[in-house]
Structure 1
Amino acid sequence: MPLILLVRHGENDYVKEQRLPGRIPGIHLNKHGRKQAKRLAKFLKPAPVKAVYSSPLERTMETAQPIAKAFNLKVIPRERLIETDVGKWQGKKIKKLRKLDSWRKVQLNPSRFQFPGGEHILDCQYRLVQEIEQLTERHDPQDMIVCVSHADPIKMAVAYYLGLPLD
């Protein structure tokens, strides 16, 4: 199985503002996030990276670009690496969401939770695992690939491969 580096996108202003960005288009890395992406590309430069895949959202593509450039590769957008569809919570302040009963539910039993108007947590996990499995089939076992995605989908995939429950 190829070595897969799961990378979370760099900082954006939604993170700083404690907002849940979800899949809102047009959220770009801020200055600090661009620096993070460049530093990561420099750090990875000695590694034998064969491919760079990314969620199609701007903040992930902007994180992936310097990495791909360091290896003379193109970023390959992959729809299944996209952020969890948080539905009606998209763009909301986390401080307000914490007051909801449903916030407590997702924190205590995420495996049973579906975002209002959005994706079920287990569907997100399944989607990301399926993508990783498909990418591993496309590469040789000795290859190293980079997948730039989002915090929650990455956590769910890691939990799956470690055999850990989401709850």
Structure 2
Amino acid sequence: MPTLILVRHGRSTANTEGLLAGRTPGVALDEHGQRQASGLVRRLDELPLVAAVSSPLRRCQDTLAPLAEARPGMPLHTEERVNECDYGQWSGRKLAELSDEPLMATVQRHPSSAAFPGGESMRAMQHRAVEAVRDWNARIEAEHGARAVYLMCSHGDVIKSIVADALGMHLDLFQRISVGPCSATAITYTPLRPFLLRLGDTGELGSLAPPAPTEEESGPEEGSQGNATVGGSA
């Protein structure tokens, strides 16, 4: 099955202002975030991406704009299911103010039980995001093969919930995961298990390119069925 590169959007104006943006329309990248988006092109330069998938929100679309310009032949899709968590009445508020809300303790300690007033639950957020990843994995493999690499640009909590699912972690533990703005997280999915290859990486990603098949190979490539390398890989 394919390798998925999860990219969090670049730093936004809401990030620098200490706001919980949620789905507030029009939240853009700040100047640093724009530089991060431009730098993403170089970081991905050696990676043969077959497609990119994005949250519909502007900050994700803007993060992928330089990459789309550099790769005009790469399909770019919008996927509603990897949209930001719907924080409801919390959206647009200062994080410092929200820290005093009784619900914040649940968000931090038992996020699987957290539901935002006028919004959605964190469990529902994870369910739709993981469903989207599984659907896109199947589509990408059907169209491009099991060695294919594709990218998905989304949001911090969404990406963390996808990583937690890949690692078999309960959602209550997902706050232990950290993904910074414009960081890349790579997961290779196999029939047996997912492999987390990178987490919150801010460097170059060319080493994630799949090796070319050799003449000696017959059937599925080595490791494609999900067997781990005993003792660790080279």
If the TM-score is normalised by the length of the shorter chain, which range does it land in?
over 0.9
Q: Distance in 1 between matches of 2:146 and 2:71?
A: 19
1:93-148 per-residue CA deviation (whole Å, 9 max, x = no partner) reads 00000011111111110001101111111110010000000101111211110000
- Structure 1 unaligned blocks of 5 or more: none
Task: Tell me what 2:123 maps to.
Answer: 122
Higher mean displacement: 66-75 or 105-114 = 66-75
Q: Is the 8 A contact 1:88 1:118 kept in 2?
A: yes
Q: Is the 8 A contact 2:20 2:91 kept in 1?
A: yes
TM-score (norm 1): 0.97
Task: Tell me what 1:166 maps to.
Answer: 171
Higher mean displacement: 69-78 or 7-16 = 69-78
Within-5 A mapping of 1:50-65: 50-65=50-65
- Structure 2 unaligned blocks of 5 or more: 173-234
Q: Is the 8 A contact 2:53 2:153 kept in 1?
A: yes
Higher mean displacement: 39-48 or 85-94 = 39-48
Task: Tell me what 1:100 maps to.
Answer: 101
TM-score (norm 2): 0.70
Task: Tell me what 2:70 maps to.
Answer: 70
Sequence identity (%):
38
Within-5 A mapping of 1:40-59: 40-59=40-59
How many angstroms does 1:74 deviate by?
4.2
Structure 1 residue 25 and structure 2 residue 30: aligned?
no
Q: Give the helix-richer structure, 1 or 2.
A: 1
How many angstroms does 1:69 deviate by?
2.5
Of structures 1 and 2, the one with the larger relative CO (CA 8 A, separation 6+) is 1
Larger radius of gyration: 2
How many angstroms does 1:48 deviate by?
0.6
Which of 149, 155, 161 is 2:154 aligned to? Answer: 149
Q: Is the 8 A contact 1:45 1:71 kept in 2?
A: no
- Alignment length, in residue pairs? 167
